[in-house]
Amino acid sequence: MYSKFLALSLFFILIMNSHPFAQYSKQDSTLKNYFIGSTFFMLGNLDSKDRPDFAQLNIGYRLTDSDIISLEVKTWKYTQPLGIQYGNSFGSSKEKFPGYIREFGVALAYQKFLWKGMYTGIHIMNAWQSFVDENDLKIDNGYQIFNTYRLGYHFKLFNNKFFIEPSIAITHRPYHTRMPDSFKRKDDQWGKFFFGEPGLHFGYNF
């Protein structure tokens, strides 16, 4: 599933990078200070094999022409360690947890425009976890800090009423509480970083 989103994100960057999009300016008559949005990652809920039950809502504010802060609220579940890199083990049934982890997270995000629509961003999320076994019974609770370091491009659409942001990211888990042993044995085999996570956010300006 990640590979599909990566390809889609790169596609948007390649076909639109030559267009004259610019970062926001106070002199822009179409400028809106606030926005609300989400991510096309929710399309992963159509996956019949490993449905993430993903939902996300973003609410943001433009501090300056090139500085943006936003609040993200999200929930999802996953069945494998988050540090598995692309390769033979990625998506392999051999790497699955004996159940899944359900997370509810709140993140603070900061974006900095560098040139035209290109930006960098950091997302720092506090995530509360429920560990669920193969019988769909919760066996423990947990907590982790989950950071995302993002590079992307912001495209204005329909006279700046909407926008879309393809991106690529590194994710990082700098801290988490101890997992149940059956989950920990799987997670300990992998690192705390993941390289090349695709993103495809969208939003409405108001």
CA-closest candidate to residue 111, choices 70, 161, 171, 58: 70
pLDDT score of 15: 43
Q: For position 24, what pLDDT does the model report?
A: 54
pLDDT of residue 16: 46
Rounded to whole angstroms, the Cα distance separating 30 from 156 reads 10
pLDDT along the chain (206 residues), means of 10: 47 45 54 93 89 97 95 98 96 95 98 96 98 97 98 95 97 98 97 97 97
Q: Which helix (H) or strand (E) holds 175?
A: strand 162-176
Q: Return the structure tokens found at 107.
A: 């993140």
Q: Is 77 strand, coil or helix?
A: strand
Which one-letter amino acid corresponds to residue 26? Answer: K
Distance CA 94, CA 80 (A): 9
Q: Are 104 and 128 in contact (CB under 8 A)?
A: yes
**What is the reported pLDDT for 67?**
97
Do residues 71 and 62 lie in contact, with contact meaning Cβ atoms separated by under 8 Å? no
- From the options 3.10.20.30, 2.40.160.20, 3.30.230.10, 3.60.9.10, give the CATH code of 2-205: 2.40.160.20
* Structure confidence at residue 21 (pLDDT): 46
The full set of domain ranges for the chain reads 2-205
Residue 149's Cβ-count burial label (10 Å; 0-12, 13-18, 19+) is: middle
Instruction: Specify whether the CB–CB gap between 192 and 155 falls below 8 A.
Output: no
